[in-house]
């Protein structure tokens, strides 16, 4: 583990315990439909309600989408979400 994620703490503690958490995104058909409807209607309030989960929801929807035009629309919106996150993070520094 130390090769992949090295950890150094100064001063050195008497004991170090590392914990790792896995995450799996489960996106229900109802959530997909709500996001798709909100995107089509420019329902920003609905999209904002998903908060930090909107990015993984859209990523999941893009992977499953068989219509290239719709996948492109989802990707364009996801790109705008990424742009907003970057702008917010740059504003903090």
pLDDT (tens, 9 = 90+) of the chain, 93 residues, equals: 778 788 889 999 999 888 888 877 789 999 999 999 998 888 888 888 988 888 899 999 999 999 999 999 999 988 887 887 777 777 765
d(CA 2, CA 76): 38
d(CA 58, CA 16): 37
14 contacts 26 by C-beta, under 8 angstroms: no
d(CA 86, CA 79): 11
Closest CA to 60 of 14, 25, 19: 25
pTM: 0.63
Question: Domain spans of the chain?
Answer: 29-92
Packed helices 54-64 and 68-92: angle between N→C axes, nearest 10 degrees: 160
């Amino acid at each position: 583990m130390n090769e992949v994620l090295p950890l150094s703490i100064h001063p050195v503690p008497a004991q170090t315990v590392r914990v790792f958490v896995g995450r799996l995104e489960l996106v229900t058909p109802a959530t997909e439909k709500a996001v798709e409807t909100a995107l089509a209607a420019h329902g920003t309030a609905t999209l904002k309600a998903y908060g930090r989960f909107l990015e993984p929801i859209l990523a999941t929807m893009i992977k499953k989408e068989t219509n290239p035009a719709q996948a492109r629309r989802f990707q364009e919106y996801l790109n705008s979400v990424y742009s907003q996150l970057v702008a917010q993070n740059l504003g903090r520094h």
